[in-house]
């Protein structure tokens, strides 16, 4: 037997399959083929790693927070993964049975698309809530893939909201007032408490993002692992610092998530190192890899959590969701490191896991 045949068993199996006229799958099931891969190939290592991660996640607890956590997903850079992060973290937590609301506050309505909720022009949406004082309860839609995932959609009407809000009364607090009212109504009706509310922001620091930051208790910042990643972060931190000083003193930057990470490039590694150096306590241990499955899920009206739950991208988002859930019960009140901005009262990701495991 050639040395190569010993290493790659399907070379032998292929010949046998032709003789016995059996399908390749009967002769050598894919699951066996994967096990037979030499364990030092990158593919085999990835398969092995992913199956361990799947197993770990199957047994992982996603604890409920003590109170509703309101998290704004913000970064004024476009295309860094805000929407992808919002819908996939939300879906990951909903998959674990937690009660989730996603507020789509981007006129592009990409979160509404990924969650497969109607957002054609004229659909009751966040626009009517912000501009016309429509009760939020009249805009709530159910995500078809997850029983405990609700969404306030955004329609194209929202693109004019920034201008319309500019002259409105309480223009920075309109979302907060609407959400407070909705939560009180839910309470009065005896509905289950929401565990998480995520607000997806547009790629600007205008009134929509400001409303979201005023409403939230936490800000989550997705950072794309590429050259310009840290540019603009100073501006975002300044804006958050201003909101903390004048409008929402309890807002903290609790979570930073590295997205579109490519472990094969030095650049991704360098950006990740730099971000972890500046935000050691806030940066999640999980990083989101660049993945075709993640990017194609929305075109099927799905999150990657429902579209391909065992893919590397889905596993990464589930791991990130679990870290966030764990941090919610293991906050240690540790001081932050960026001056005016409250950053990360929660412990580092790994410390958090240890605390919960203990
Ligand atoms: N991990 C990923 N792998 C591959 N493509 C991604 C990933 N995350 C996001 N994308 C793609 O990048 C684009 C921008 O992502 P998006 O979440 O819409 O960013 P933002 O909301 O910040 O503008 C989208 O086309 C999305 O599908
Ligand atoms: Mg977006």
- Contact between 342 and 252 under an 8 Å Cβ cutoff? The reply is yes
Task: Give the ligand 1 atom nearest the CA of 290.
Answer: 3
- Residue 327 within a domain: no
Nearest CA-CA partner of 156 in 197, 201, 121: 121
pLDDT at 352 exceeding the cut of 60? no
Alpha helices per DSSP H over the chain: 3-7, 10-20, 24-27, 30-36, 42-58, 82-95, 110-114, 126-132, 161-166, 174-188, 207-215, 233-246, 266-278, 292-296, 304-307, 312-329, 349-357
What is the average per-residue pLDDT within 22-39?
A: 51
At residue 232, the pLDDT reads 81
Structural domain span for residue 212:
66-220+229-252+287-317
Distance (Å) from CA 83 to ligand 2 centroid: 4
Using DSSP bridges, classify how beta strands 149-152 and 141-142 pair: parallel, antiparallel or unpaired: antiparallel
- Write the CATH number for 77: 3.40.50.300
Distance (Å) from CA 200 to ligand 2 centroid: 7
- Residue 263 within a domain: no
pLDDT at 290 exceeding the cut of 60? yes
Task: Give the ligand 1 atom nearest the CA of 200.
Answer: 21
Per residue in 44-77, pLDDT (tens digit) is: 888 888 888 988 898 888 999 999 999 999 999 9
- Residue 47 within a domain: no
- Residue 64: partners with Cβ closer than 8 Å, 6 or more residues away: 98, 195
- Residue 326: partners with Cβ closer than 8 Å, 6 or more residues away: 63, 352, 353, 355, 356
Per residue in 148-161, pLDDT (tens digit) is: 999 999 999 999 99
Number of the ligand closest to the Cα of 106: 2
- Residue 61 within a domain: no
Number of the ligand closest to the Cα of 104: 2
- Contact between 24 and 17 under an 8 Å Cβ cutoff? The reply is yes
What is the average per-residue pLDDT within 168-179?
A: 96
- Residue 243: partners with Cβ closer than 8 Å, 6 or more residues away: 210, 213, 214, 251
What is the average per-residue pLDDT within 164-186?
A: 96
Structure token digits, residue 145: 């893939």
- Residue 22 within a domain: no
- Contact between 199 and 68 under an 8 Å Cβ cutoff? The reply is no
* Separation of CA 342 from chain center: 21
pLDDT at 353 exceeding the cut of 80? no
Task: Give the ligand 1 atom nearest the CA of 84.
Answer: 17
The residue ranking higher by pLDDT, 355 or 325, is 325
- Residue 92 within a domain: yes
Per residue in 121-150, pLDDT (tens digit) is: 999 999 999 999 999 999 999 999 999 999
* Residue that is written with structure tokens 């972060």 in the block: 233
| Count of domains observed in the chain | 1
Confidence of residue 37 (pLDDT cuts 50, 70, 90): low
pTM recorded for the entire structure: 0.84
At residue 248, the pLDDT reads 97
- Residue 30 within a domain: no
At residue 284, the pLDDT reads 97
- Residue 273 within a domain: no
Q: Tell me the pLDDT of the chain averaged across its residues.
A: 85
């Amino acid at each position: 037997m050639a040395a190569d045949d010993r290493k790659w068993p399907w070379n032998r199996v292929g010949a046998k399959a032709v003789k016995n006229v059996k399908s390749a799958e009967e002769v050598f099931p894919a699951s066996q083929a994967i096990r037979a891969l030499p364990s030092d190939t990158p593919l085999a290592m990835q398969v092995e790693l992913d199956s361990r991660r799947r197993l770990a996640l199957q047994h992982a607890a996603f604890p409920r927070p003590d109170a509703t956590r309101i998290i704004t997903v913000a970064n004024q850079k476009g295309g860094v993964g805000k929407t992808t992060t919002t819908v996939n973290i939300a879906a990951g937590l909903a998959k674990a049975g937690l009660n989730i609301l996603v507020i789509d506050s981007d006129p592009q309505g990409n979160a509404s698309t990924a969650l497969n909720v109607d957002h054609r022009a004229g659909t009751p949406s966040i626009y009517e809530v912000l501009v016309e004082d429509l009760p939020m309860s009249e805009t709530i839609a159910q995500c078809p893939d997850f029983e405990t995932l609700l969404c306030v959609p955004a329609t194209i009407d929202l693109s004019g909201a920034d201008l319309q809000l500019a002259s409105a009364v309480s223009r920075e607090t309109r979302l907060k007032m609407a959400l407070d009212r909705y939560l009180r109504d839910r309470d009065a009706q005896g509905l289950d408490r929401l565990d998480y509310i995520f607000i997806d922001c547009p790629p600007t620091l205008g009134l929509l993002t400001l409303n979201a930051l005023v409403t939230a208790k936490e800000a989550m910042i997705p950072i794309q692992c590429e050259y310009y990643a840290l540019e603009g972060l100073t501006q975002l931190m300044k804006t958050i610092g201003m909101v903390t000083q004048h409008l929402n003193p309890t807002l903290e930057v609790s979570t930073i998530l590295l997205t579109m990470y490519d472990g094969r490039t030095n650049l991704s590694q360098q950006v990740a190192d730099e971000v972890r150096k500046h935000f050691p306590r806030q940066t999640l241990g999980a990083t989101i890899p660049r993945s075709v499955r993640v990017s194609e899920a929305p075109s099927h009206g799905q999150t990657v959590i429902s579209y391909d739950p065992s893919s590397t991208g889905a596993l990464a988002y589930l791991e990130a969701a679990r870290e966030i859930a764990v941090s919610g019960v293991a906050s240690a009140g540790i001081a932050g490191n960026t001056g005016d901005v409250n950053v990360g009262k929660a412990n580092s990701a790994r410390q958090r896991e240890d605390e919960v495991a203990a």
